Amino acid sequence: MNPTVLLPHGCHIGTDKACHFSVWAPLKKEVILHIVSPEERLIPMERSNEGYFQVTVEDCPPAARYYFNPDRAGDLPDPASHFQPEGVHGPSAVVDHTTFEWSDSGWENPGLQDLILYELHVGTFTEAGTFDAIIPRLEDLLATGINAIEIMPVAQFSGNRNWGYDGVFPYAVQDSYGGPEGLKRLVNACHRLGIAVILDVVYNHLGPEGNRLPQFGPYFTDAYKTPWGDAINFDGPWSDGVRDYFASNAIHWFHHYHIDGLRLDAIHAIFDNGAVHILQRINEAADQYAQQTEKSVHMIAESDLNAPRVIQNFKAGGYGFDAQWLDDFHHALFVALYPEGKDRYEDFGTVEQLAKAYTDGFVYSGEYTKARKRKYGASSAGIPGFKFVAFIQNHDQVGNHKNGERLSVQLPDSHLRIAAAALLLAPYIPMLFMGEEYGEERPFLYFTSHSDEQLVELVREGRKEEFGHWLGEEDPPDPQAESTFRACVLDWSKRTQGKHRHLLAWHRRLIHLRRSHVALQNFNKTGTQVDVLSEHAWALLRQDETEKSQLLALFNLSDQPLPHTLPQNT
């Protein structure tokens, strides 16, 4: 049975094996379903009260391809297509979610605080760039101690090379990655091994090529501006259908793909001035799903707001996310490790800031930042550490360097080890970026494969402009070139070689320590103390709730030895 919070967007095959088509087009007079294969048919849809057009087709086989034609605008793919086997410009395909043979009925989603997250881009994680190609590598991840992969967005985007944030079919699974069946096989395999799967979803914009949503309904509004243009219409006239579309999308992944949690991209670009913020609405839907199915799901936000409301509960006026990314921890640690990084993170650079990142969370909790030209943030002191995901690299922090440089090419081996320890001993949920665990040296560059030549040129120019003013004369690698993408594919063979092998072992040891030492299980901030020892050194003390079990980690980024006397109470 479908959970009640899953609304019938797109095409669903019921237990009756009939195809139920549904599309929201509140301002259209008619919508015609155009089935193009295996047998061409034109079927007028029926309008329901809330702006949906619906029709049930008894004899429409799975994999049938179809378009919708709203008010004779022509054949358009389904805005809630579950599969675009011929890419963003082709027909949608009927997907039968009742046939996949799941073997994960015994699976239980680990608690958020037990996760070691691993961010992964399907296209560059392996040579093949598919979901299936990931499966053989899961055992190695597991052996390293990783128990959750976080997959960068898989919603259908134009072409077959993209970070995923240009998706234009939020319900579809990228064809070149292996489509719906591929994703299911991956999740099933993960669950078999004890690995949770978090999926990155984008609810703040749609990509620049192949976005057909505006041709169906008022999905966008010019009331708010985002970096990508008009904002998604979450609070204006006709926004109910838009709200339902995105809230139901969250449930779509849980229900049809057994996804264990979502990471919502850039929630600071989601605007809603209404009485119930769409992010609350989405998190309420996730809660209801969890209640109805007795499954737990994790809701994680990427937030550039430094606002406690993101992770506060509804009663406290919050959006109710389980956790959010803690960028400030990255920035503080990164600039401490790599002082040249101050070019990019000009408001960071002291060990005191790193100390605050450990003990409070947000480093900027109301202070002025030069980058934003305003006071920024509010205090997160007292919010438990399991509400934050920390990292020392991620797709953005690596990929938004001009040459996609990872820490492994910026830092000596000693510092890579310090970075790993600083992260894995922190009172936060740690996240590694694929390859980080063995010091992958290949870059993670910005890449696209749009088919619209004008757009390609715009993206190229935008990239040059982004880096032009502060990173020298040379142009950044061409985002559209296949070689740019190819250069990013992980070199898995390194894991077993020399310094890489040692770094991998170091990660394994740290994760083991994290799991086994009781002081590291305590996410309560009162159990974390940081002493600044010098401009380049700090002491991190973790202790359990009883303060009986303690762990002291000493970090020294300088070449000079630093005498340190253990405090008396340790």
Contacting a second copy (CB under 8 A), which of 37, 273, 291, 546? Answer: 273
Residue 279: CB minimum distance to a second copy, A: 12
Using the contact rule CB under 8 A, the part of the chain among 206-214, 269-277, 282-290, 465-473 near a second copy is 269-277
Contacting a second copy (CB under 8 A), which of 192, 268, 342, 508? Answer: 268
d(CA 526, CA 75): 60
Q: Which is nearer to a second copy, 235 or 322 (CB)?
A: 235
d(CA 304, CA 268): 6
d(CA 357, CA 371): 18
Q: Phi, psi (5° rounding) for residue 348? A: -120, 165
d(CA 82, CA 440): 34
d(CA 181, CA 178): 7
Site string for a second copy, 348-377 (x = CB under 8 A): ------------------x-x---xxxxxx
Q: Which is nearer to a second copy, 370 or 548 (CB)?
A: 370
Output the six-digit token pair for 141. Answer: 């991840």
Residue 225: CB minimum distance to a second copy, A: 5
36: Cβ contacts below 8 Å, ≥ 6 apart? 65, 66, 67, 75, 91
Q: What is the DSSP string of 152-179?
A: PP-SB-SSS---STT-SBTTS--GGGTH
Q: Which is nearer to a second copy, 119 or 244 (CB)?
A: 244
Q: Which is nearer to a second copy, 14 or 366 (CB)?
A: 366
Residue 508 carries which side chain, given as an amino acid letter? R
Q: Which is nearer to a second copy, 69 or 380 (CB)?
A: 380
Residue 328 carries which side chain, given as an amino acid letter? D
Taking only Cα atoms into account, the Rg of the chain, rounded to an integer number of angstroms, comes to 24
Handedness of CA 138, 140, 146, 149 (dihedral sign): negative
The reply on whether position 308 binds a second copy by CB under 8 A is: yes
The reply on whether position 271 binds a second copy by CB under 8 A is: yes
The strands making up 31-37's β-sheet, listed across from edge to edge, are 41-44, 31-37, 65-70, 92-93
Residue 394: CB minimum distance to a second copy, A: 22
Residue 378: CB minimum distance to a second copy, A: 4
Site for a second copy in 394-423 (CB under 8 A): none
The reply on whether position 274 binds a second copy by CB under 8 A is: yes
DSSP state of 42: E
Site string for a second copy, 207-236 (x = CB under 8 A): ---------------xxxx---------xx
Site string for a second copy, 314-353 (x = CB under 8 A): -xxxx-----------------------------------
User: Are 257 and 219 within 8 A, CB to CB?
Assistant: no
User: Are 518 and 549 within 8 A, CB to CB?
Assistant: yes
The reply on whether position 102 binds a second copy by CB under 8 A is: no
Q: Which is nearer to a second copy, 11 or 247 (CB)?
A: 247
Contacting a second copy (CB under 8 A), which of 32, 378, 513, 532? Answer: 378
Q: Which is nearer to a second copy, 268 or 508 (CB)?
A: 268
Closest CA to 13 of 59, 77, 52: 59
The reply on whether position 246 binds a second copy by CB under 8 A is: no
The reply on whether position 462 binds a second copy by CB under 8 A is: no
The reply on whether position 306 binds a second copy by CB under 8 A is: yes
The reply on whether position 239 binds a second copy by CB under 8 A is: yes
- Label residue 134 exposed, middle or buried (CB < 10 Å: 0-12, 13-18, 19+): buried
Output the six-digit token pair for 117. Answer: 């997250």
List, by residue number, the catalytic residues: 265, 302
Q: Which is nearer to a second copy, 72 or 225 (CB)?
A: 225
The reply on whether position 143 binds a second copy by CB under 8 A is: no
Summarize as ranges the residues that interact with a second copy (CB under 8 A).
222-225, 235-240, 268, 271, 273-276, 305-309, 312, 315-318, 366, 368, 372-378
